[in-house]
Amino acid sequence: MNVGFPNFEQETISEIKENASNQDSINFHKTESIKFAESGEIEQANVHLKKYIQASGDLTFVNQQEFITLEDSIEYQDILKTYIPKFNTWVIFLLFSSIIGIFIAIILNLQKNRNKSANLLIALFVLFHSILIADFGFYFSNYSYQLPHSLFLSTTFSLLYGPLLYFYFKKTVSNYKFKTVDLLHLMPSLVLLVYILPFYLLTTNEKLHLLLNFEKYLVTGGSYIVLSKVVSLGTYAMLIFRISRRSSRNLSVTPQYQDWLKKVSWFFFVYVISYIVYGLSIMDIIDIPYIVHTQVAILASLVLYIAYCAFTKPMVFLSTTADIATEHVKTISIYSNQTSDVTSEKYQKSRLTLNFSLELKENLLELLIRDKIYKENNLTLELLAQKLQTNRHNASQVINEHFNMSFFELINQYRIKEAKDLLENDLHKNMKIIDVAYEVGYNNKVTFNKSFKKETSLTPTQYQDYYKQKAKTRKLDPFASETNLFSGSGS
């Protein structure tokens, strides 16, 4: 029978309500299953036993004394596997992954940095997928029948996975400012919610009846949802890859974040491909055994990878602009030999207002973190002042007051920090030291080596050898790392 999408929903709801309370059908199959079991007609007994469970939701009925004669039949064992709760390594893995994901989602939102919206986006991405993994855990363990209100627990979020990751990357890569038009990305999820809402409002018994007769009621509606999710995931996967490619040309994106972005993008891409195959399997277009297990395993691996990075590489969850700037300022301030009292006294007669001073500070951080102006080997205080659209005196005052150091010390600190990042990510020594010096803004190797040793007490080569050995130690003993999520710092 050809029916429209809304009509199908109404007819399905009506049929569920009617059949979930059909006592005549329940009593008939109950009586027939016992009668055939006692008379030794095993095949007929199993048929009516399954129909009774589907009609009544009484899962304990399979343990009746009358069904001892059915224990050796394949059909009866299939009924037990289908409806009786069970635990195995696979289920434990899924539930463990789900719990870890939910925990990480909470922790990410508790991190103290300025890019709260980006953290919220990635936290929701992890949270919704963790709920989906838990949903699969309930399904594979048959506990979904014990928890009928878990029906469609994760379905509402199906069309949010792509938008959440897409906007997370946009926010962190380009400091994207959200617009009203972006709310259109939520429209598919709202439509899906409106469609599913009547199912949420079913009673416990009606939800259980739906779960026990899933294929009967949801083939058509389920196909719509699966197809919508395939389109959504595929579309956003392409958009995410575009951002990933562009990030490599964005000077404000650190090498660590580029690596993080690339790996998460590939994880998501593989997950999308697996879901497309899974969707085709659900719609009986292809038949690949255990594809659902593969899809869920990839999904759980993605969540666990994000959790791993949250503990071992917390810096990737900082914004590439304001938050990293804050971390740099904190680090730089440690090495300052000046005091705020001295600078305050020095500029008592300055005409620079507090608001303008703070504005210049933010603009300076933008130049340092986003534009990486310190890489310009001809950079002077005068040139920096021009870029800040102020005079030399104001630029110097902002640096002295807010960073507690001179112009040259500030630029050197950023250059050395950049050099350390390059050396740490070039453990195979593909770059020459002079190349690193030129890359971060120095004109010659001698000045670079002198500044680097003053900052780290090591030459660039010694620092790279030290970090390479440190990396080997961490690989052999992952618990030796001093960096963790709770410290909020990274090397």
User: Does residue 57 sit in the same domain as residue 173?
Assistant: no
**pLDDT digits 0-9 by tens, 396-421:** 888 888 888 889 989 999 999 898 88
Q: How confident is the model at residue 476 (pLDDT cuts 50, 70, 90)?
A: low
User: Does residue 387 sit in the same domain as residue 420?
Assistant: yes
User: Does residue 63 sit in the same domain as residue 93?
Assistant: no
Domain C-terminal end among 83, 105, 120? 83
CA angle 175, 179, 184 (to 5 degrees): 120
User: Does residue 98 sit in the same domain as residue 231?
Assistant: yes
User: Does residue 62 sit in the same domain as residue 95?
Assistant: no
Instruction: Assess if residue 268 is contained within a domain.
Output: yes
Q: Supply the pLDDT for residue 144.
A: 92
User: Does residue 304 sit in the same domain as residue 164?
Assistant: yes
User: Residue 313, CB half-sphere, CA atoms under 13 Å: how many?
Assistant: 16
Asked whether residue 351 carries a pLDDT value surpassing 70, the answer given is: no
481 vs 415, more confident: 415
Average pLDDT of the segment spanning 360-383:
88
User: Does residue 166 sit in the same domain as residue 74?
Assistant: no
User: Residue 329, CB half-sphere, CA atoms under 13 Å: how many?
Assistant: 19
User: Does residue 399 sit in the same domain as residue 362?
Assistant: yes
* Residues of the domain holding 463: 322-480
Instruction: Assess if residue 487 is contained within a domain.
Output: no
User: Does residue 265 sit in the same domain as residue 141?
Assistant: yes
**pLDDT digits 0-9 by tens, 146-174:** 999 988 888 889 999 999 999 998 888 77
Q: How many domains does the chain have?
A: 3
DSSP label at residue 423 = H
Q: Supply the pLDDT for residue 343.
A: 47
Range with lowest mean pLDDT among 132-146, 160-174, 248-262, 319-333: 319-333
**pLDDT digits 0-9 by tens, 63-89:** 888 888 898 899 999 999 999 999 999
Instruction: Assess if residue 79 is contained within a domain.
Output: yes
Instruction: Assess if residue 21 is contained within a domain.
Output: yes
Instruction: Assess if residue 192 is contained within a domain.
Output: yes
User: Does residue 310 sit in the same domain as residue 326?
Assistant: no
Asked whether residue 6 carries a pLDDT value surpassing 70, the answer given is: no
**pLDDT digits 0-9 by tens, 300-319:** 999 999 998 887 776 666 54
Instruction: Assess if residue 309 is contained within a domain.
Output: yes
Q: Supply the pLDDT for residue 223.
A: 79
User: Does residue 95 sit in the same domain as residue 208?
Assistant: yes
CA–centroid distance for 13 within its chain? 35
Instruction: Assess if residue 489 is contained within a domain.
Output: no
Instruction: Assess if residue 102 is contained within a domain.
Output: yes
Measure Cα distances from 354 to 245, 342, 344, 397 in Å: 40, 17, 12, 11
Contacts of 423 (CB under 8 A, 6+ apart): 436, 460, 463, 464, 467
User: Does residue 335 sit in the same domain as residue 307?
Assistant: no
What DSSP line would sit under 25-72, residue for residue?
Answer: HHHHHHHHHHHHHHTT-HHHHHHHHHHHHHHH--GGGGG-GGGGGGTT
